[in-house]
Amino acid sequence: MTIDPEFLHSQNDDAVNGQLMKRATYAAVGIALILIAIKSFAYFATNSVAMLSTLVDSMLDLAASAINLFAVRQSLVPADRDHRFGHGKAEALAGLFQSAIITGSAVFLLFQAGERLLNPKPVYASDVGIIVMVVSIVLTIGLVLYQRYVISRTRSVAISADSLHYVGDVLINGGVILALILDTVFHWRFADGMFGILIALVLIFSAWKIIRTSFADLMDEELGDEERENIKTIVLQQPGVLGIHDLRTRRSGQQVFIQMHIDMDGSISLRDAHTISDAVEARLMAEYPEAEAIVHQDPLHIDNSRNDED
């Protein structure tokens, strides 16, 4: 029996991408634990609500990253009898859980920061807080850079959601440093509460972006216009293909599903039509190794009922 080299290449890519995604989740959990430890020390040393907000955010990061770890492992489980299309949507579900956790924490921080605005309190040991925030920024940037590399290879929704709020953490930690400086150097007592509110708003915005991305996956939203046009170009480059219509696409975790009808000369044999169809699928798999393509052949002279304008 001959094994298709394209199939072996696709399987190898899937295995490598799976390992990258798992390592990214382990790294996120590890960094979150370190940040919680050093920020807890800094909060008790400074009594800053802005510091408390970033501590709470790191606790949420840990919860979200732990959910991601489970979701990524589940999404990589191969398709089985009860899940013919695989388990990829576990990533999108993890994104929704993350957004719920982040939104809840943002509301808590809004109340805490509002109370601090009404009753300003001095911040202590700001130098300790600033050092901890600088260390946090360095660690978080390192994690985000690694996550971006993994996302570029895998297009993982769960890792993208995780990376999104870690990017927010970099901005949050910078805001905490500024709040500490304004409070201790310029004695602006309202800075702590104001930055706490700004941080909460950043968290809410991040949660909304995660929700939007997750729903796009769960609701089987089409791939972007650029990717759809690329698919059409690839298909029409195949000799024997005279047209393409009824193109449908969706993404589920790592996997992309592509369905289409292709127009061919109605006088060719069934064998030749099948050969052309297989060649189209091979071209798509070469460009999208994680894809599953279904191609329906239509004789050009038949007027098919089309469900879209493609």
pLDDT band of residue 86 (cuts 50, 70, 90) is low
**What are 48-70's pLDDT values in tens digits?**
776 777 788 788 778 878 877 77
Report the pLDDT averaged over residues 86-114: 74
Is 80 in a helix, a strand, or coil?
A: coil
For residue 37, pLDDT over 70 is answered with yes
- Return the DSSP state at 257: E
d(CA 172, CA 195): 9
**93 token code pair:** 């579900």
More confident residue, 148 or 17: 148
For residue 125, pLDDT over 70 is answered with no
User: Tokens 């809840």 identify what position?
Assistant: 104
Residues listed for the chain: 310
- Return the DSSP state at 304: -
**87 token code pair:** 């388990």
**What are 266-283's pLDDT values in tens digits?**
888 888 888 999 999 888
pLDDT band of residue 10 (cuts 50, 70, 90) is very low
Give the residues across from 257 on adjacent strands: 250, 292
**187 token code pair:** 């004695």
pLDDT band of residue 139 (cuts 50, 70, 90) is very high
The whole-chain average pLDDT of the chain stands at: 77
Single-letter residue type at 12: N
Decide the pairing of beta strands 255-264 and 243-252.
antiparallel
Whether the predicted model's global pTM rises above the 0.85 cut = no
**What are 153-212's pLDDT values in tens digits?**
877 767 777 777 687 777 777 777 777 777 777 777 777 677 778 877 877 887 887 788
For residue 260, pLDDT over 80 is answered with yes
At residue 224, the pLDDT reads 79
Is residue 155 within 8 A of residue 254, CB to CB? The reply is yes
Residue 307 Cα distances to 169, 295, 301, 310, angstroms: 45, 16, 18, 9
